[in-house]
Structure 1
């Protein structure tokens, strides 16, 4: 079954808005693990507006499931990942002032850079995923850079889903089929929710992992954190 990695950045946003350690990001991550998530995702940004580098270090010490660190591989990020050695690093080309990730890599134009940084992470035994738009050429480019997986940027799928789910998912199916032809693992993330998750995985059942943060943490305000994790797990299970 497709694994669920929960992005806990929004929990850190709440903590940072008041200072102190409430809510406790590490405790929340351990609870999310206990509630059934298969992994924890964090996206430390240069301005530390949510997850901080010390959070990442603390999480690595205590998590039993996979830790996925995502972000733009600027020098400070690379140093952090090489120090912490997570199960997976997801390379995302977001600008320092980006509100949230808003595009995938051009893996052709940035081939030399991505090849070099991917090789550095491989030297530490870290699985490397490249964040890409649903474009088969970018998927093939990720393979040429040495990536182990790609993560499909699913914002367009989520945005177009209400108007027509078949048309919304079609580019993703094509990109996912290219990933399978290339021998790449397949992740997906961004704006996936209880409304659109099951159909995505139903159409692309070889998806290895989905990373979900904003929608899941928002749903937890209404349904409770434990119940919400189980609701998302149920969407993945029912899609099979």
Structure 2
């Protein structure tokens, strides 16, 4: 079964909008796990506009499933993950002012840099995943830097799903098959929701994990957090 990792950035965004500690990020993570989530994802950015670095340290103490930390491997970020040592680090090439992740790595252009970063993570026993677009050459480049997994950036799939889902999924299937050829683990994330998740899951081979935050938290406003997590889990069976 493909695992569901809940990205709790939006919980922190709501907290930060008012100050104080409501909603409490640590309690939200505990509740997500209690309601069935098989992982917790956070993406601390330099401006700490949602998840703060302090949150990451606090979450490490309580997450009992898989802790996945996403981010651009700046020196500050690498110090954080080396201190916390989560199960997985997902490397994302975000610009400091990016509203959200909007592109995967050029794994060929940044081969030396990614090789060095992944080597450091693997020495610490941290699984490395690289955020990539559904391009076969980028998957091959990811394999060349010795990453454990790739995470396919699924915004284009989500955007095209309702117009022509077969056409939208086609490059993702080719990328997934290429990952399988190189024995790379496969994750996926970005703009996945209750409409498009099942088709992605049913089409891509060996999909190990999806990371979902924005849509899941939006659904939870109407459906409740526990019910929403269960609905997403059903799409992955």
Common fold by TM > 0.5 = yes
Question: Are 2:80 and 1:80 equivalent residues in the alignment?
Answer: yes
* Cα distance between partner residues in 1 of 2:140 and 2:220: 37
How many residue pairs match? The answer is 237
Alignment of structure 1 residues 133-212 onto 2, 5 Å: 133-212=133-212
Aligned-pair CA distance for 1:206: 1.1
* Cα distance between partner residues in 2 of 1:66 and 1:2: 13
* Cα distance between partner residues in 1 of 2:123 and 2:56: 20
Please tell me whether the aligned partners of residues 11 and 23 of structure 1 are also in contact (alpha carbons under 8 angstroms): yes
Residue deviations 1:69-96, cap 9 Å, x none?
0000000000000000000000000100
Residue deviations 1:97-149, cap 9 Å, x none?
00000000000000000000000011100000000000011011011111000
* Cα distance between partner residues in 2 of 1:136 and 1:147: 15
* Cα distance between partner residues in 2 of 1:63 and 1:162: 36
Question: Are 2:232 and 1:232 equivalent residues in the alignment?
Answer: yes
* Cα distance between partner residues in 2 of 1:166 and 1:146: 31
* Cα distance between partner residues in 1 of 2:65 and 2:192: 21
Partner SS for 2:56? helix
Task: Please name the residue that 1:222 is paired with.
Answer: 222
The TM-score normalised by the length of structure 2 is 1.00
Residue deviations 1:154-189, cap 9 Å, x none?
000000001010000000000000000000000000
Task: Please name the residue that 2:108 is paired with.
Answer: 108
Aligned-pair CA distance for 1:205: 3.8
Please tell me whether the aligned partners of residues 2 and 205 of structure 1 are also in contact (alpha carbons under 8 angstroms): no
Partner SS for 1:105? coil
Task: Please name the residue that 1:40 is paired with.
Answer: 40
Aligned-pair CA distance for 1:196: 0.1
* Cα distance between partner residues in 2 of 1:155 and 1:13: 21
* Cα distance between partner residues in 2 of 1:2 and 1:117: 27
Please tell me whether the aligned partners of residues 92 and 131 of structure 1 are also in contact (alpha carbons under 8 angstroms): yes
Please tell me whether the aligned partners of residues 53 and 80 of structure 2 are also in contact (alpha carbons under 8 angstroms): yes
Partner SS for 1:68? strand
Partner SS for 2:21? coil
Task: Please name the residue that 1:51 is paired with.
Answer: 51
